[in-house]
């Protein structure tokens, strides 16, 4: 089953914020907020459920281990709220790095279930020893965009982005694969399924290319 059962909880929403960056104790939050503000988009970092419930768009960052991230989200009561917003209300969400991996069903890195919004699993890089490549995959790399998406609309020529990761998402359906990148093997570096988007790279560290992606996300209708 693609989606886990949605737990619905009632929250008393406050004022709306255009983009809500979810603070669950893991992620490069300030850099994302600063880049959005440079482009004159209102962005708030918060762990307050009453702020998150009224978000027009969500960003789920993440740096670290899969199980630790899911535990942190659970301890803050965010999982049922995010299920309700993303699955039932169709609020757009953008997962970044580990945040993209959390969109999948599970990860080889841990034992806990992910959100399961994307029919996918997160697996460790399996690169032949004679390839001469290091894990984690770290540094600049290019993308091959597989289908049209508002995230990459009017993108600069020869786009390249900054990566830091040892695991990657493997989608069950090619329809969910937005872009691929090669590091010894070809892997999925961006996903899209309805209102759900994921980026394995760090747009906040990717200069004008990352700024363009965040701008496109912020301007989604």
Q: Classify the C-alpha dihedral 80-67-110-192 as positive or negative.
A: positive
Split at pLDDT 50, 70, 90, the class of 37 is: very high
202 is catalytic: yes
Give pLDDT, residue 127: 86
Mean pLDDT of the 153-171 span? 95
Tell me what percent of the residues of the chain surpass a pLDDT of 90.
85
Query: What is d(CA 118, CA 120) in angstroms, rounded to the nearest whole number?
Result: 6
pLDDT over 80 (residue 181): yes
Give the ranges where the chain is alpha helix by DSSP (H).
29-38, 49-52, 66-75, 78-83, 98-101, 207-218
97 is catalytic: yes
pLDDT over 50 (residue 72): yes
pLDDT over 80 (residue 93): yes
Give pLDDT, residue 132: 82
| Domains defined for the chain, CATH in brackets | 19-218 (3.40.50.880)
92 phi and psi angles, rounded to 5 deg? -60, 140
Tokens 């979810």 belong to residue: 22
Give pLDDT, residue 27: 76
Catalytic residue among 42, 171, 204, 207: 204
Split at pLDDT 50, 70, 90, the class of 198 is: very high
Contact status, residue 9 vs residue 82, Cβ threshold 8 Å:
no
Catalytic residue among 168, 183, 193, 202: 202
193 is catalytic: no
Q: Is 152 helix (H, G, I), strand (E, B) or coil?
A: helix
93-96 vs 144-145, strand pairing mode: unpaired
pLDDT over 50 (residue 133): yes
Catalytic residue among 68, 97, 171, 219: 97
- With CA atoms as reference, report the closest residue to 215 among 55, 43, 100: 43
158 CA to centre of own chain: 22
Q: DSSP secondary-structure letter at 115? A: -
Mean pLDDT of the 81-99 span? 98
Split at pLDDT 50, 70, 90, the class of 17 is: low
Give pLDDT, residue 130: 78
Q: Structure pTM? A: 0.91
Query: What is d(CA 22, CA 150) in angstroms, rounded to the nearest whole number?
Result: 22
């Amino acid at each position: 089953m693609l989606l886990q059962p949605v737990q619905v909880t009632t929250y008393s929403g406050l004022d709306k914020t255009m983009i809500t960056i979810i603070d669950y104790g893991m992620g490069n939050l300030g850099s994302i907020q600063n880049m959005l503000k440079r482009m004159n988009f209102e962005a708030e970092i918060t762990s307050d459920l009453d702020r998150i419930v009224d978000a027009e768009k969500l960003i789920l960052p993440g740096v670290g281990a899969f199980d630790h991230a899911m535990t942190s989200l659970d301890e803050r009561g965010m999982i049922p709220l995010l299920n309700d917003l993303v699955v039932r209300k169709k609020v757009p969400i953008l997962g970044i790095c580990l945040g993209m991996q959390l969109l999948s069903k599970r990860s080889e890195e841990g034992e806990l279930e992910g959100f399961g919004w994307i029919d996918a699993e997160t697996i460790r890089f399996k690169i032949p020893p004679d390839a001469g490549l290091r894990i984690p995959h770290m540094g600049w790399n290019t993308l091959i965009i597989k289908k049209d998406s508002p995230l990459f609309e009017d993108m600069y020529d020869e786009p390249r982005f900054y990566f830091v990761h040892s695991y990657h998402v493997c989608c069950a359906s090619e329809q969910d694969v937005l872009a691929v990148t090669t590091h010894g093997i070809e892997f999925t570096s961006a996903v899209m399924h309805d209102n759900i988007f994921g980026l394995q790279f760090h747009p906040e560290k990717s200069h004008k290319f990352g700024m363009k992606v965040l701008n496109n996300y912020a301007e989604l209708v």
